[in-house]
Amino acid sequence: MARAAKHALFTLALLCASGGGVAQNTSGTSFSPAQIKQGAQLYASNCESCHGVRMQGPQWGIDLATFPRDKPERFVESVTNGTKAMPPWGDVLKPDDIKALWAYVVAGEPPR
């Protein structure tokens, strides 16, 4: 194989590896694309009526795109047990579902 072609292939492989869709949050935890996708589906069926389609323009309730990224415990706690005007989800969603929702909130939409 010609050198130039080899180089092009190598660059392509690097691009694929870095753009592979495994997103990182500020604390360095990475989420798998499958987990983010699961979270997106759960979000669409349970959360978007109040928090907005794809977290854009919430009808009411808060803008989850601004939820602090370094507070996963608070996310799990609020979603499981509810907070003020927000209903609890602990009876509906399994802990893994809530983890997937966290992955979606942190990494599922492009930052605004």
Residues that bind ligand HEC (CB under 6 A): 46-47, 49-51, 60-62, 64, 67, 74-75, 78-79, 83-87, 89, 101
Number of residues that make up the chain: 112
Q: Rounded to the nearest whole angstrom, what is the least distance from the CB of residue 56 to ligand HEC in the complex? A: 15
Q: Which is nearer to ligand HEC, 22 or 97 (CB)?
A: 97
CB 100 within 8 A of CB 35: yes
Q: Which is nearer to ligand HEC, 101 or 103 (CB)?
A: 101
Q: Which is nearer to ligand HEC, 33 or 48 (CB)?
A: 48
**Environment class of residue 73 by beta-carbon count within 10 Å: exposed (0-12), middle (13-18) or buried (19+)?**
exposed
Q: Rounded to the nearest whole angstrom, what is the least distance from the CB of residue 20 to ligand HEC in the complex? A: 26
Q: Which is nearer to ligand HEC, 23 or 62 (CB)?
A: 62
CB 28 within 8 A of CB 69: no
Q: Rounded to the nearest whole angstrom, what is the least distance from the CB of residue 39 to ligand HEC in the complex? A: 9
Backbone angles phi, psi at 49, to 5 degrees: -60, -30
CB 101 within 8 A of CB 79: yes
